[in-house]
Structure 1
Amino acid sequence: MFPELTDPSKLDKAGADWTKSKPVRVIRSDKMCHSKYAPTEGFRYDDIYKLVRYWPARARTDL
């Protein structure tokens, strides 16, 4: 569905604005795996957030 943003080097210049604390629109899908924030069906626009800090996600090895 939507790629996880774990590596900022893989983003183009327009998509990398979140690394500079620009506002980020959050849209959630019912396809999110076991998330308490996922809607019951379809998509939901959750709001605009300002990124305060970020770090790379570790790859899961227990899959």
Structure 2
Amino acid sequence: MKAYLLVTGSIFALIGVAHLLRLVVEPGHGFSSDPWFFVHNFALFVVGGGIAVWALRPLAVLRSRSA
């Protein structure tokens, strides 16, 4: 169970960070010129980050119980 939570949380964290970096690295897509690019990547950053937190939080609880 711990390995599954760690792998799942890490993958979704990487997906969230990738979408955040895409917003920063691709400056040609401004909010005024292409609002869907911004909304799409920001939404996927929030969703990926939320799922990562949701997956890693039980892992932290399991660690605190075993310590």
TM-score (norm 2): 0.23
Task: Tell me which structure has the larger Cα radius of gyration.
Answer: 2
TM-score (norm 1): 0.23
User: When you count strand as a share of all residues, which structure comes out higher?
Assistant: 1
User: When you count helix as a share of all residues, which structure comes out higher?
Assistant: 2
